[in-house]
Structure formats: structure tokens, C-alpha cells
Amino acid sequence: MNRTGITNQSAATALLIVDAQQGLLCGQSAVPQATAIVDRLAYLIDAARAAGALVVYLQNDGAPGSADEPGTPGWSIHPRLQPKRGEIVQRKGTDDGFVDTPLEAILREHGAQRVAVAGLLSEMCVSATVRGALARRLQVVLVSDAHATYPVDDIPAAVVSRVAEHALGDEVELRETADVVFERVGK
């Protein structure tokens, strides 16, 4: 249900998993509730695969010394969320997964017009990628319980995530993991 109270039953034909990397989901540097986020991401991936939807992993190339620096253990996609043969892993160097990548062309080539988005970090790469999708006239389902971030000063992480969500406006449909529906991509 989006914030206007209108229920949209259309299924997503693509799932974008944003920065589900070990440096953000494992160990002392993990986001709060990382285990629950991994469980929800795994559920979404399984549901998308079962329906024949396109699954695309966005993998951030962080700066030297960062938790997601390319080639470091933290840069790798979380072990429980590993792509299967034929699934796309798209590296990116900015928050928006569409900037300087072929993501738009990949989605168009496969006929994906409605995308579900989940992953990390809520107010950064998730938000920027959602805005990038909207700018390209894609329909977006943001999976409200499957994106996360860190606390900002004295603001709890869950509040930061909710504020980021609502800052995206009414064009974004919010759904919880269990309510996201996928269908085969039209290629």
C-alpha cells in the first residue's frame, strides 16, 4: 500500500538487491538488525527466483580503506545471498545504481517495468537508486522491512530508514517482504 492508501496488486518483474555486502552485514560493522535483513533479502531473492523475475545485485565499489573496498572481504556479497548463474551483478561507484552503469538498459532489455528494491543503506544507495528508477519512469516497490542503515548521531537506525523512505514521496509503493509479489520477467 502506498502512502495514499491505494493498494496496487501488480507484481514486480525485477528485484534490485542494493549493496548486500559483507562489510555492511557482518561483524562489528554490521547495520543494526543485520540478521533479520539478511533473512528478508534471502526470502525476496527466493520468491523472485521462483516466479522467474529478474534478480539484479548492485555491488558498491567503496573507497580505499572502506568496508566495501573492492577485493576485500567486506566487498563480497553476503554468503547467504550469493547470485546464481545467470543473475546479474552490477558494480557501481556511486549511490545511484543507474549512474554510469548499464542498469537501465539491463532492465529495459528484459522488459522489467516494475522493480522491487531492497538492501543497504536506506538514506544513501537505496534512496538514490529508487530515485534513479523513478527518473527513468519505472514503477518502484520499496520493501519497507528489507532495507536498513546505521544510526545517525542520536537518531536510531530504524528512524533514519523510515525518514529516508518517506522522503521518496508518493510515487513509491511501500510493501513488507511477505507482501511483495513477483512474476516472470517479460523477455
A 10 A CB-CB count for 88 gives: 17
125 labelled catalytic: yes
Degrees to nearest 5, angle at CA 159 with 168 and 29: 105
Q: Which residue has the cell 511483495?
A: 180
Asked if residues 148 and 121 have their Cβ atoms less than 8 Å apart, the reply is: yes
Which residues lie below 8 Å from residue 82, measured CB to CB, with a gap of 6+?
none
User: Can you tell me the distance from the alpha carbon of 6 to that of 13, in angstroms, rounded to the nearest whole number?
Assistant: 20
Out of 37, 125, 148, 164, pick the active-site residue.
Answer: 125
What kind and span of H or E run contains 163?
helix 157-167
Give burial (CB, 10 Å; 0-12/13-18/19+) of 65.
exposed
Which one-letter amino acid corresponds to residue 18?
A: V
- Active-site positions read 125
